[in-house]
Amino acid sequence: MGFDPVTLGVLSLASQVGGTLMQAQGQAAGAKAQQIKAQKAAQIARVQADQADSAYRDELRTTLANIDTIRASANVDSASPTAFALRNQAREDSDMQRERKVSGIRMQANQLDQDAAFYGSAARNYITAGLVNAGAQAAGGAKGFF
């Protein structure tokens, strides 16, 4: 059973158009997978930022309690200027380290959110481009039949 040239041309064109659409779907699926990966990484980074924040605060409480214990064991008034200066310096150091660490992780999470948005946009663009290319192939190939 043989096919006439027109039928072969139509089948060939349909195969090309289908291939173009499948390629676009594959590219879109890859970009969508990257989007999901970046979204999950951003969520994890936000949890890590919260954990770091909590850990630094816990460490500060421990440090301040140790300062108070040492001062009390030495029979030094906890309201003395020296005790106040020690506690204040410990608090400032801890806050600076905590803010630096937490803000760095949050910036990383924000970048991952931006990456996810980019991948989502790319996925949509792959589909649009695939449809446009498939339409152009179909239109160009149809010229040969008329």
Q: What is the pLDDT of residues 15-41, one digit of tens each?
A: 888 898 999 999 999 999 999 999 999
CA 26 to CA 20: how far, in whole Å?
10
Are residues 117 and 39 in contact, defined by beta-carbon separation less than 8 angstroms?
Answer: no
Token pair for residue 126?
A: 């792959």
- The helix, strand and coil proportions of the chain, stated in percent and rounded to the nearest 5, come to 90, 0, 10
Output the pLDDT for position 145. Answer: 62
Confidence band of 146 (pLDDT split at 50, 70, 90): low
69: amino acid identity, one letter: T
- Global pTM value: 0.74
Q: What is the pLDDT of residues 54-100, one digit of tens each?
A: 999 999 999 999 999 988 888 888 788 888 899 999 999 999 999 99
- The arithmetic mean of pLDDT across residues 93-112, rounded, is 97
Nearest to 37 by CA among 103, 118, 105: 118
